[in-house]
Amino acid sequence: MQSVFLPATECGSSDDVFIGADNEEKEVEDEVATPRTLRPRKLAPTVTKRDLTKQIREVVARRHHSLDEKLFLDEHCSLVKAVRARASSYSKLKQRSQEVFDDPVTLHAKCIDLAKALQTAKHAVVYTGAGISTAANIPDYRGTNGVWTRLKSGKDVNSCQNLVSAVPTFTHMCIEALVRHHIVQHVVSQNCDGLHVRSGVPSDKLSELHGNMFCEICPNCDATYYRLFDVTEHTALRRHSTGRTCDKCNEGLKDTIVHFGERSDARWPHNWESAESNAYDADLILCLGSSLKVLRSYKQLWLTERTKRNRPKLYIVNLQWTPKDSQATSKINGSVDEVMKIVMLYLSIVPAVY
């Protein structure tokens, strides 16, 4: 392109103007004047607290950490602390659910110590749980094959024996013998299977705190009826009418089962008055086959308001951890039948056969 210079007067300026570049300058001006279309900026995906916690859990689980992983953990130290605390709590719960067995020598020594304590006790009371009925093919609640454990694992819980045909176990008969020989003054049970009654423990020496599935009562005249069949067939939580009537006053009968979240004012078969008075007088408490996770909430059974030296001696026979282990005089990790066999042999008492 040929360049032509014009006089300044014709251009209206004292400066020279480069005419040949007009078109190029206009193109540049047009580009500046036209707004540029910007592409939408890609934002980093939002990391939820749940995803972050999962990442932290995976990193914490590794044995060795890279420099980047260490920096990552330092950056989220509060979440790391929470994740580790949760993992520790889960590990403790898992450990507590495991069954632990004392070796034969230790078990025998603990059983002899228990037998001697029973022999010298002035007022011994026995607390029993579902663990003493497992030999009757009645599952316990929190054991490795218990109802609660099986429900959590999605397993069938209906394969246990019909309770109507269940018979007292060796431990039931040992307890009856200890009561008969005045070595044990009272039995407090959280079982509803009625096996203590069948074993022969007198009703005034027994407190069935959660009821008896073979017992129905009249709320009007307090008449008590023990049946050979399960009276709870048509009852449930807050629905206790059995459909039968009292022979004395014709009032509708009710079952005696105490469900979670319920309380019962009925005297029998719960017999709370005797349970509390015997716990108050006790100088020895023997817990057999109970996780104590429910019984521990009944403060009147433990006399925790007393100083440690004035509380009764506490012996616990259970394969799993209980919340009372740290307070026990002795924790015996063995099956209740095996323990009672050694104890009865030392005491020279032969239990009756059902």
pLDDT one-digit tens code per residue, 81-113? 888 888 888 878 777 788 999 999 999 999 999
In total, the chain counts a number of residues equal to 354
pLDDT band, residue 168 (cuts 50/70/90): very high
**What are the Cα distances from residue 120, in Å, to 77, 83, 183?**
56, 50, 9
Q: What average pLDDT does range 26-34 have in this prediction?
A: 51
Q: What is the pLDDT of residue 56?
A: 87
Return d(Cα 94, Cα 21) in angstroms, integer: 85
pLDDT > 70? residue 126:
yes
Assign 3-state DSSP to the chain and report helix, strand, coil percentages, each to 5: 40, 10, 45
pLDDT value for 45: 62
246 is in an annotated binding site: yes
The percentage of the chain sitting over the pLDDT mark of 70, rounded to a whole number, equals 80
Tokens standing for residue 45: 């995906």
- The mean-pLDDT minimum among 24-28, 62-66, 71-75 falls in 24-28
Which position has the higher pLDDT, 113 or 163?
113
**Segment holding 106, helix H or strand E:** helix 104-120
HSE-CB at 253 with a 13 A cutoff on CA atoms is 22
Q: Is the pLDDT of residue 43 over 70?
A: no
Pairing of strands 330-332, 224-226: unpaired
354, two tokens: 């059902």
Q: Provide CATH 3.40.50.1220 ranges for the chain.
A: 104-210+270-347
Among candidates 148, 156, 145, 144, which has minimal Cα distance to 94? 144
Confidence of residue 52 (pLDDT cuts 50, 70, 90): confident
Any binding-site annotation on 160?
A: no
pLDDT band at 6 (very low <50, low <70, confident <90, very high): very low
Residue 341 clears pLDDT 50, i.e. is over it: yes
174 is in an annotated binding site: no
User: 80 pLDDT band (50/70/90 cuts)?
Assistant: confident
**pLDDT single digits (tens) 225-271:** 999 999 998 888 888 999 999 999 999 999 999 988 887 777 889 99
Residue 16 has pLDDT above 50, yes or no: no
Structural tokens at position 42: 């890609």
Tell me what the mean pLDDT of segment 68-82 comes to.
Answer: 87
Over the stretch 182-216, which tens digit does the pLDDT of each residue have?
999 999 999 999 999 999 999 999 999 999 999 99
Judge whether 334 and 319 are in contact, CB under 8 Å: yes
For residues 286-298, average pLDDT: 95
- The predicted-structure confidence for 314-340, as pLDDT tens digits, reads as follows 999 999 999 999 999 999 999 999 999
- Provide the mean pLDDT of the chain: 84
3-state secondary structure of 307: coil
* Residues whose CB is less than 8 angstroms from the CB of residue 314 and which lie 6 or more positions away in sequence, other chains included: 284, 285, 287, 324, 327, 328, 329
Residue 324's SS3 state is coil
Q: Among 227, 232, 223, 268, which residue's Cα sits nearest to residue 250?
A: 223
Q: Which tokens in the block code for residue 174?
A: 């040992």
Instruction: Give pLDDT, residue 13.
Output: 46
The candidate with the shortest Cα–Cα distance to 225, out of 234, 213, 217, is 217
Report the 10 Å Cβ neighbour count for 134.
Answer: 20
Whole-number pLDDT of residue 159:
42
Q: Give the per-residue pLDDT at 188.
A: 98
CA distances from residue 87 to 72, 77, 92 in whole angstroms, order as listed: 19, 15, 9
| Per-residue pLDDT band at 15 (split at 50, 70, 90) | very low
CATH 2.20.28 in the chain is located at 214-265
Which parts of 13-153 are beta strand (E)?
Answer: 124-128
Mean pLDDT of 151-180: 74
Q: Which amino acid is at 161?
A: Q
DSSP letters along 141-190, please? SSSTTSHHHHHHTT-----SPPGGG----HHHHHHHHHHHTTS--EEEE-
Strand partners, 128: 189, 288
- pLDDT the model gives residue 9: 44
Q: Which of 172, 186, 196, 210 is catalytic?
A: 210
Q: Could you tell me which of 223, 218, 178, 182 has the C-alpha nearest to residue 196?
A: 178
The yes-or-no answer on residue 210 being catalytic is: yes
pLDDT of residue 208: 96
In a 3-state reduction of DSSP, which class is residue 124?
Answer: strand
What kind of architecture, by CATH, is found in domain 214-265?
Answer: Single Sheet (2.20)
Q: Which fold has domain 104-210+270-347?
A: Rossmann fold (3.40.50)
pLDDT of amino acid 238: 84
